[in-house]
């Protein structure tokens, strides 16, 4: 027998499901980000953690990795184009810190990659996975770069999601 007193958080939430979500477009926000070294050690990638904001998969997480610093010019060019799409989708034109991209609702197109799929680098996936393939801003919402969030207008309910509040006009 093991004494568990003080060894765990009794208020911790149960583990969420980690299986891959189906291919589709999802309203999401970036909830975490970090620059990490590549496996080869000769570059860095920006890892973005997305959380789906609504629908059947609300709360589920998907990750995007952008090779922003790499000796592979083609990979770096692709990552810079992807990052331009993310900046446009979030309305943050020139972030100095990746945290500026957090909690800005936008649409991501996620692709489901089944287990056993061969990748371009020769790697074969050993489990189902997701890959973020595209980013776009939410239609009808005017991005406000650098503005702090404010209270909803008098005629808008606090329950109205922030990305839908600008659509009433």
Dihedral (Cα; 97, 100, 103, 105), 10-degree rounding: -110
24-165 adopts what CATH topology?
OB fold (Dihydrolipoamide Acetyltransferase, E2P) (2.40.50)
pLDDT at 71: 95
Residues 6+ apart with CB under 8 A from 38: 44, 45, 67, 70
Break the chain into its structural domains and give their ranges. 24-165
- What does the block give as tokens for 45? 């990638």
Q: Region 42-55: what's the mean pLDDT?
A: 96
In the predicted model, is pLDDT for residue 160 greater than 60? no
Measured between alpha carbons, how far is 54 from 162 in angstroms, rounded to an integer? 13
pLDDT at 29: 98
pLDDT at 116: 86
- In degrees and rounded to multiples of 5, residue 153 shows phi and psi of -65, 160
What confidence tens digit (pLDDT) does each residue in 104-158 have? 999 999 999 998 887 766 677 788 999 999 999 998 654 434 333 333 444 444 4
Dihedral (Cα; 144, 58, 20, 84), 10-degree rounding: 0
Q: For residues 63 and 77, is the Cβ–Cβ distance under 8 A? A: no
**Percent of the chain topping pLDDT 70:** 79
pLDDT at 100: 97
């Amino acid at each position: 027998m093991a004494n568990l007193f003080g060894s765990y958080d009794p208020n911790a939430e149960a583990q969420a499901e980690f299986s891959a979500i189906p291919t589709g477009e999802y309203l999401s926000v970036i909830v975490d980000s970090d620059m990490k070294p590549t496996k080869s050690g000769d570059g860095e990638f920006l890892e973005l953690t997305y959380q789906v904001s609504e629908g059947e998969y609300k709360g589920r997480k998907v990750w995007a990795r952008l090779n922003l610093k790499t000796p592979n010019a083609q990979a770096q060019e692709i990552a810079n184009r992807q990052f331009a799409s993310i900046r446009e989708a979030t309305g943050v034109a020139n972030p100095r810190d990746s945290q500026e991209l957090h909690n800005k609702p936008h649409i991501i197109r996620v692709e489901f990659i089944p287990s056993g799929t061969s990748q371009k680098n020769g790697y074969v996936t050993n489990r189902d996975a997701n890959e973020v393939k595209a980013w776009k801003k939410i239609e009808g919402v005017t991005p406000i770069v650098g503005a702090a969030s404010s209270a909803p207008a008098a005629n808008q309910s606090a329950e109205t999601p922030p990305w839908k509040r600008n659509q009433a006009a």
